[in-house]
Amino acid sequence: MSTPPPAAPSGPMQGIRVLDLGVWVAGPFAASLLADFGAEVIKIEEPPHGDPIRRGGQFTGPGAHWCIDGRNKKSMTLNLRTARGRELLGQLLARADVLIDNHRPGMLDAWGFSEARLRALNPRLIVVNVSGYGQSGPYAQRLAYDRIAAAMGGLLYLNGYPDRPPVRTGIIVCDYITALFNTIGVLMALYHRDARGGSGQRLDVAMYECVFRLLEATLPAYDKLGIVRERIGNVSPGFYPDDMFETADGAWIVLSAVTDRHFAALCRLMGREDLLHDPTLATPEDRGRQLTRLQALIGAWVKQHRRDEVLALLTEARLPCAPVMRIDDIVRDPHYQARGTIIDVEDPQLGRIKQPAVVPRLSATPGAVYRGAPPLGADTDAILRDLLGLSPAEIAELHRQGVV
């Protein structure tokens, strides 16, 4: 059973105010992570529709994506196409610690928020510019989404099988990778400012660079050995055997027996001790050269057992293994339940809905979900009143003029 959420923000980011000026994922999800750990996040959205992610997608439905990325945030509508809207943004920036923006490069300047203006408004402000290609270079003005970054960063070419076209990952992983680097950058900038006595600064977060940073040894292998890494399906280069296998009941498991000790334990479990005396299988490199043969042997043995049976055998033998989990498997899984990895959140539009818990788990200053994702503009009036000091009449006039 989930514990009741705290009534107010908690966590190590408490007292930090973040303006989330982004759309979709690469910028806003970083703000979501900061909000999970207590930051006050004000999401500024353009009326009348707000962030397109509110409308979900073909496979998620309206609100399903937003309930994750919008939790713990406040929503304020603000029309930055108006002079009054930009004036109000300036007042908010003067009171903020972090601005996260992923509009095209130069958009902030076009709105009148040059680097000099931002420093004049708030020298302590940390400004995060998220874009597909970065704020400089010949591609800076090109548009990019997740798949574009995967292609440009070198990841897409490596996904799939050698005899088939490249395949995208099952989720928008490049957006989320970018958001993680975005969050790391904010935390480092805050540490520099608050623990080291530094000033605010600007972060240039390019999606393709975040993806490229995670390409393992692809670059040095090419630089020193001339190796152009190709698609190799489910094989992990240098780690054999390590693959997915189908069970007797049509499920799939992952099995990794990549060390000498694990390979020996697997051979004994399969009743194939003779393989331990085969000189062509003596080292991981040898096993890599015999991979097709090994996969057939292991696959035939796994196929003799039902999923739960073979996982029990492998676990008892201390071999790394796991079922390939669907989302319905995850919801029922006892380990997920015991650790509270899935929580119930009261969403103002969708009602009670399951969501991933806050990670990582901090022992002294844990994060929490204390508020469901707000409807568009739900906090506009309160922010104008409490943070900017506007009167009810002034707020009503802003509504009348279409500024908020």
Question: What residues contact 386, with CB distance under 8 A and at least 6 apart?
Answer: none
Give the active site residue among 20, 97, 146, 175. Answer: 175
Report the run of H or E that residue 364 belongs to, with start and end.
none
Dihedral in degrees, nearest 10, Cα atoms 75, 384, 20, 9:
-70
**Residue 288 burial by Cβ neighbours in a 10 Å radius (0-12, 13-18, 19+):** middle
- 3-class state of residue 108 by DSSP: helix
Contact 207/130 with Cβ under 8 angstroms?
Answer: yes
Q: What are phi and psi for residue 135, nearest 5 degrees?
A: -85, -5
Q: 181: closest CA among 158, 157, 149, 156?
A: 149
Report the run of H or E that residue 45 belongs to, with start and end.
strand 40-45
The verdict on whether 260 is a catalytic residue reads: no
What is the Cα 385 distance to its own chain's centre? 34
Place of tokens 């929503």: 75
Give 76's strand partners: 44
Q: In what order do the strands lie in the sheet with 252-256?
A: 242-246, 252-256, 321-323
Give 245's strand partners: 253
What residues act catalytically?
175
